[in-house]
Every structure is written in C-alpha cells, then in structure tokens.
Chains A and B, each alone.
Chain A
Amino acid sequence: MNASFAITDFPDRLSPMVVKELRQGLRTRLFAGVLLTLHLMLVLLTLMSGGAENATVVSGWFDGIVTLVLCIIMPLRGFSAVADEIKSGTLDMLALTRLSAGRIIFGKWAAIASQSLLLMLSILPYVVARFVFGGLDLFGEIAALFYKWLAGVVIAAVIVALSTQRQFWLRAVVVFLLLMMIGAFSAFSFMVMTSMGTSTTSDSMVTFFTKSGGGSSALLVVGMAAWAIFFFLSLAATRIAPTASLLSVVKRSVHLVMILSLLLLGWLTGAGADMGMIAAGVLALLMIDALTERVNEVPSVYAAFYQRGWPGRVALWLLAPGWVTGLLYSALLVALVAVYVGWTRSVEEAKLVAVSACGTWMIAALVQLFSTRKSRDLLPPFIIFWLFVNVVIAILGIPLMASLSMRSATAWFTCALPQFLSSGYKTAQAGDKAALLQLGMLSACIWPAVLLIAAVFAWRHARAARQEGWRMIHGKNGGTAV
C-alpha cells in the first residue's frame, strides 16, 4: 500500500481537528474562488495606485475589499461549522474520540483563523508594492491589516459559537444583526474620526489606529481579542460537551482572572475609570454564558468538588456547571465591578452598572418563566428573549419616544427596562436624575429576585445528584450533602 506516503501532509503536533478542517477547507471552491478573486482585484488596484490623483479612491477600495474578505467572508465560513456535524451525526463520532468539546470547537475556529492568516500574508506583497509606488505608511498599513485579521478571527469565534445552534433562522438573524452592528460601529468610528479633525482617507485611519493608542493600547486590544475568542469558543464548547464535563470551572476561573486583571491594570496604570467600564462590558458578555448553562444532575460533577474539602464546597457554589451557580457567580462579579466603578468614577455610575446587570438577569428570568425547553440548552431562548427585549422593544420604543416632546418624560420609560436605564439617565433633566435612578433600581431589583426564587427550586431539584456525589466521596455514612 502506498497510503503511508500520501498521508504525511500535516505533522502530528497539529490538532487533529485543525488537520481535518484544513484538508477540507483548502479544497473548497469557496476558498479557491475567494483567493483568486482577491488577488485579481488587488493586482488591478495596485496597478491603478501609481497615479497620485486616484490614490485615495484606490486605498478605499483596497481597504474595503480586504475588510470584506477578512472580516465577513472568511468568518462566515463557520456559519454551519458545528450545526452540520450535529445534523450529519458526525459530532457523536467525534465525541467518542479523545477530542474534548473544547478541542473540537477550537479546531473549527483555528482552521478559519489560519486560512484567514494565509490570505492576510498573501496580501502583504501588495501592501509593499503600494508603499513602493504610492509612498504609504508601510508599518501603519501592516498594523491595520493585522487588526482587520484580528477582528475577523474574533467574528469567526462568534460565528463558530453560533453554529452550535441547530436553528438556521436563529443563526441567520444573529449574524445579520452582528453585521449590522459592525456596520454601525464602522460608521460611528468614521464620524468620531471626522469630528476629531482627521481626514476621511484610509491613510488617516491607519494613523489613528496605530499611533494614537501606542503600544500598551495595542496590547490591550490583542488581550481583549484573545479573551473574546476564548469566551465564544468556550461558550460553544459547553453546548456540545458531555453532561459530566467540568468546563464551567475553567471558563469561570479564566473570566474571573480577566476581570481582576482589568481592574488591577486600571489601578496600576491610573486608568481605573476606563478599565472599570471595560470590565463592565466583559461582565455583560460572561453573564450570558453563566446564566444559560443547564443545571447539572450528574453526581460525579459534584463529587469532584466535594473531593477537595471545604474549598471545593465553597467553589461548588460559584463554579459548578449550571445557571444557579452562574447567578451567584455573576452577582459576585457585578458587586466587584460596581464597587470598583464607584471607587474610580462615581456612585451613580456604579448603580447604573448594577442596573444594567439586572437587565441581563431579567432576560434569564424570562427564560426561566416562559421557556418550554428548560431541560435543554438555555442559550436559544435567551437569544430570542434578548432579541425581543433589546431589538423589538427598542424599535417600537423609538417612535414612541420621538412622539414625546418632553425629554424628561421620555427618560422615565426606561425605568421599566433595566438595560435602557443608563440611556434614560443620560437624557434626563438634572433635577430628575436621582429620582430616576432610584426608581430604576427599585424596578430592576424584581428580576434578580425572580431569578433567585427559580434558582432555589432548580437547586433543590438537583439535590439528589449532589447527595449521590457526596456519597461517592464520603461513603454511605458520610452525612448529607449541602
């Protein structure tokens, strides 16, 4: 057999999933088509960039095409990455190998990231050519290209995470909204730069991104991107992991370290005010994951905590898989971030952080109250309720708010929806702000209370599993578990 000669294309040290995805991905017509079309267009644009009169237009096209490929087309390759494996039954076969859920998801993402990297590297000669012909800021252009690739791989992580959901329509709606958000963010950045006095050319954008922040900002951006990738991939891994998995311990520990690092960095660098708000943003994301894990009823999961004595029993309340411990974990982090924001910014802003967190708890409470799929994955109903509250109500609310001429009256409507209270607070008249915040906090408190009641029932429901886990460690006469 000549098989052994034909199968040494990838080394053993590469992850099997990456090898598989690369073998498949590099053979697809889409990848070949994108690669050839991209190069054809870049050759044309490079040839056109010789004349100074059309340099701005050419730069715009160059950036647009590269952004389209790296930030939209390549990430979208992950749209059905896991859903297809689920539908064809191959995910079961993968689960029976030594590949963990995390490695399966990472492999899916890494293949897209490495193909994007391949494309990005293939673009570099054109950047150099434009530098030679057009006198561009070479390092600035390369840095901008790197950031585009980075943004693309973060978006790819989001899309791979979404692909764990079987429902096509749900994935399509979220991806559509994501693309809309990217568009809105780009437009916003464009307006900010224009208002700051920079010109609208792409050369100026490069300068803005590379030189205004300095090296520490670049490191922060890369660090945040790395955390975001970890967050979305671990979120995806949880959805396909076996029920006895303890992935939540790793995830929540990393998220906790991330929050503490941000707060510590803010304290050390004197940028506490900014870091507090970044930490609040991180918190908003990780709460989604913590509050959508199903309550675990596998005794060995709890036994792993009981095995470690009293530190394990304390950790169980915060790190054990399931939304009940997720509620306590998120409450702890919200308190931590709110205290920090209160210390570095103002007490009002700390209260607004806490109220915004209540907005996420509100969605989780709605899922517990109205979802018919409690025993399964809670993420799809969470996304649906989130879309409903944040998109539908916001869209319906805009004409209502526009019809009201008095701005102070408009702000009071936001008391009913905790996630919009900070917007209401900003637009409220100075004299109303304190009362608005107080009323908003009172109404927001309903949601964690509702969730806490549901949590007590869910925790009791899993009591048998915890007791069995306790017995697994301490024997039949070891007393009762918590």
Chain B
Amino acid sequence: MDRSQPAVVVEDLHRSFGALKAVDGVSFSIDHGRVVGFVGANGAGKTTTMRIMATLDSPGSGRVSMGGHNVVHHPAKVRRLLGWMPDSFGTYEHMTVLEYLDFYARALGFKGADRLRRIQEVMDFTDLTPLADRMSNKMSKGQTQRLCLGRALLHDPQILILDEPAAGLDPKARVELKNLIRILAQEGKTILISSHILSELGEMCDSLLFIDKGRIVHHGDAESMVRGTETAGETLVNVQIAGEPAKLIEWALTAPLIKIEEETKRGARLRIQSADDATLAGVLRRMIQDGLPVLDYHREERRLEDAFIDMLGQIDRNTFKAQPPEGLPLKNTEDAK
C-alpha cells in the first residue's frame, strides 16, 4: 500500500435512494494510522458512506479510494486491505466460534497450518479462546462483538471500518472494545468508527467527522469541535441542591445573566453569561442569600454532545436564514438582506 497518499480519500460522494439524498457531496480524507470517529444522527448518511467505502454499495457519483484503489474499479484490491464490521454482527446457527473463524479464514484464502495459526492469533487477541466450542449465536452481545471484530481482523487488514461497534454493549464490553481499538491503533491501522456515544469517540479518536443530512459539517479533533462551537464569555455550571430542584429552576428563571441549559435529577446545568471568576462567585453567593440549599456548585467542561447539538442548531439556523420556508415571513430587515 502506497503510504505517501492518504489511506482513505472520499471526493464529492453522492448517493440517493429514490428521492432521498442519503449522501450529498461528502468529501474527506484520512491519513494512514489515524483513528477517525464518524458521528451523525440516525439517517444522516454514515452507514451509506461506509458501505460505499467497503465496496458494498455503488456511489451515485464521486470517487472513493481506499489505499490508493478506486472502490468501484478495483473492489477486489480494496477488499484485501479492508476489515469491515457492520452494525449487525451476523453470526450463524449451528456453528461454533472456532468453526465460524475457520470458515472466514478459509474464505479469505488461508490454508492448513497457516490458517490455524492465524485463527489462534485472532482468538488470543480478542480473548475468545475459552469460548472456542461455544455456538456462535448463543453468546452475549459483547462476546459476539469480539467475535465479529476477530473475523474482521483475520486477514490483518490495514484499514478498519467499524459501524456502531459499541451499540447495545454493557459498560464492561465497551471498555474492552476501547482497549482493543487502542491496541489496533498502536499497530498503525487506519480506523473509521461510527458511533452515537460521542464521549467515547472523543477519547479514542484522533479526529471526528460529523455528518448531517448527507453532508460533512465538521472534520477535526474533539477539542476544536468543542472550542469551535463555544460561545465566548459564557460558563457552564452544574448546581445540585438539597430538596426539590424546582426551587433552583424558579430562581434561575428570574435571575439575570443565567439560562437553564438542562434540568438534572438534583438540580440543573446553568449557562452563566460571564467567564469572570468574580461573577461566578457572586452567583453562588446570591443563591445562598436567596435560601437555596446548595450542595454542589462547579464549573463544567463543555461536552462533545453539547458542541454537536449546538453545531446542528447553528446549521439549521443558517439554513433557515439562507432559505426561509415558503410562506413564512422574515423576522426583520436584516434577515431579509
């Protein structure tokens, strides 16, 4: 594989299903050895893009190359470089874990002792050796997911595409998955992971691709994403009180410079329109003066989820400004301009 070029190049990719534009001009590239998170709501176009990259679907227009090979013209070459893990794990009835891996190893061209050695390596890596004789469709979700990852790794692919690998997993299985991905990244593999769990992606990935309505809306690292959507001069504060949280909400509604970001079980996350320490201390002082039984009051780091939602909101607002729906009056003359 030519490492002077990016491992993945997607240029002006389009794909429609009837009238629905699933992918609408997506372009990005991924360098070798990078771990990239692919984020978007359901139906945003993640899976369609990934399926085209994996040679499982054809682009309407545009160009996709993996390891320097065009996915349409040279699908066989692309498939040799690629490990694909779909959101449905796809195990078989009446087949043990060992037989499952043996079948895929045979299908990938491994023979004799070489095949058995490779299966053993993969089973050791994914910790499936104790489950070798278990029926593959009778395992927990975490175990099935490890089996599916093992299958995707059998031919030691240089590029991995993982579609929602953490969906439906318990916390322990998620941690295990995260560790496996970290090891694969250290081995220099290029990994594209789609997920809804943004905080985990933020930790695992070198950069994030955000897709909305078939278009890439952000490509960069998690920090730049958070900073990019952060409003200057604002601070997010998490407040917990003793007793009814409704008291805090009532208080915040009347207080100046304060907006309620989110109600929590024992209080609220408040957005204070100031980054000044003295102002933040003043807000706390006033809460206590007004009789609120404050148990906890701390500045909160902005989460990736908040940044993503803010960014989608900004896009919607910009879209609305650019193209107001028919029959809807414009708010003011500035909008009209």
Contacts and interface: CB of A to CB of B under 8 A. Distances in A.
B84 A3 contact: no
A430 B92 CA distance: 63
Contact of B55 (A3, A19, A96): A96
B284 interface: no
Given A1-B132, A3-B120, A19-B103, A300 B90 contact: no
A187 to B, nearest CB: 38
Q: What class of interface size applies to chain B in its complex with A?
A: 35 or more
A143 B89 CA distance: 46
A189 interface: no
A298 B123 contact: no
B103 A4 contact: no
A403 interface: no
A306 to B, nearest CB: 14
A99 interface: yes
A16 interface: yes
B94 A24 contact: yes
Interface in A1-57: 1-4, 6-7, 12, 16-17, 19-20, 23-24, 27-28
Interface stretch (B30-38, B108-116, B166-174): B108-116
Contacts of A89: 86, 88, 90
A240 to B, nearest CB: 11
B7 interface: no
Contacts of B72: 243-244, 298-300
Contact of A299 (B73, B109, B129): B73
Given A12-B106, A16-B107, A88 B88 contact: yes
B197 interface: no
A472 B72 CA distance: 13
A23 B95 contact: yes
A65 to B, nearest CB: 26
Interface string B70-100: 0011110001001010101010111100110
A20 B111 CA distance: 15
A88 B151 CA distance: 16
A93 B103 contact: no
Interface string A370-406: 0000000000000000000000000000000000000
Contacts of B55: 95-96, 242
B58 A3 contact: no
Contacts of B102: 7
Interface string A89-125: 1101111111100000000000000000000000000
Given A3-B132, A12-B112, A89-B86, A23 B99 contact: yes
Contacts of A1: 120, 123, 129, 132
Q: What class of interface size applies to chain A in its complex with B?
A: 20 to 34
A298 B119 CA distance: 36
Interface in A205-264: 242-244
Nearest to B54: A96
Interface string B150-192: 0100000000000000000000000000000000000000000
A244 B75 contact: yes
A23 B103 CA distance: 10
A313 B79 CA distance: 29
Contacts of B56: 92, 95-96
Nearest to A88: B90
B107 A98 contact: yes
A6 B133 contact: yes
Interface string A255-291: 0000000000000000000000000000000000000
B94 A27 contact: yes
Contact of B107 (A88, A94, A472): A94
Given A96-B79, A300-B73, A3 B119 contact: yes
Nearest to B97: A3
Contact of A6 (B112, B120, B132): B132
Interface of A: 1-4, 6-7, 12, 16-17, 19-20, 23-24, 27-28, 88-90, 92-99, 242-244, 298-300, 472
Given A95-B56, A242-B75, 15 more contacts: A1-B120, A3-B116, A7-B99, A7-B119, A16-B103, A19-B103, A20-B95, A23-B99, A92-B51, A92-B90, A93-B104, A93-B151, A96-B82, A97-B79, A98-B79
21 contacts: A1-B132, A3-B120, A7-B102, A12-B111, A12-B115, A16-B106, A19-B103, A20-B99, A23-B103, A27-B94, A88-B88, A88-B90, A92-B56, A92-B90, A96-B55, A97-B104, A244-B73, A244-B75, A298-B58, A300-B72, A300-B74
Which 3 A-B pairs give the minimum distances between C-beta atoms? A16-B106, A97-B107, A27-B94
